[in-house]
Chain A
Amino acid sequence: TQLLEQSPQFLSIQEGENLTVYCNSSSVFSSLQWYRQEPGEGPVLLVTVVTGGEVKKLKRLTFQFGDARKDSSLHITAAQPGDTGLYLCAGSHNNDMRFGAGTRLTVKP
């Protein structure tokens, strides 16, 4: 079973702070995705990483895939209230896709 553990489970910060959330597994994935989900809606894809050590940037969000392709991190610089949401990581190998339980981020104005 490929389990994905996300930490922290909850995070509440002030606007302007930086933060990092983590996604860890003992299994190797061929790709890893990060999604953001807002209340009452389905998850929306933010990024896909496929190469060990890969770093992708999306405005203030920086995503990194671990060298061994077992873990990933999401770093947000100067968080804004609009970043509030549930951040989910999902790892894929062959046709098998597994989601973590998510990190619920609240950014206070």
Chain B
Amino acid sequence: EAQVTQNPRYLITVTGKKLTVTCSQNMNHEYMSWYRQDPGLGLRQIYYSMNVEVTDKGDVPEGYKVSRKEKRNFPLILESPSPNQTSLYFCASSPGLAGTDTQYFGPGTRLTVL
């Protein structure tokens, strides 16, 4: 089954404790991205990647890191999480540019930083 998977689905952590949210897609898509979704603000893009070893900042990259060592995986790293990073996070992938191709979203990771 074609899908985007994220782990964990739920995470509660404390300020400053490094964490990684994994994202994997099995559709051989070139383009992957991370979003955060907050009430009243919609989805905001954190980082995106157009191919292996190619990553770019989105609208809200501060406090986040990503890597794209393999085509299928695009982990999101929070080196020192803070409470304002409490949010619902989505990973997405698409064959080409997100605006013209269908973007497939993962099920989301709800992160709480205390």
Chain A residues proximal to chain B, CB less than 8 Å: 4, 29-31, 33, 40-45, 48, 50, 88, 90-93, 95, 97-102
Contact = CB atoms under 8 A, between A and B. Distances in A.
B43 A88 contact: yes
Contacts of B50: 95
Interface in B88-114: 90, 92, 97-100, 102-103, 105-108
Interface of B: 4, 33, 35, 40-45, 48, 50, 56, 59, 90, 92, 97-100, 102-103, 105-108
A101 B36 CA distance: 12
Contacts, number: 59
A31 B108 contact: no
B102 A45 contact: yes
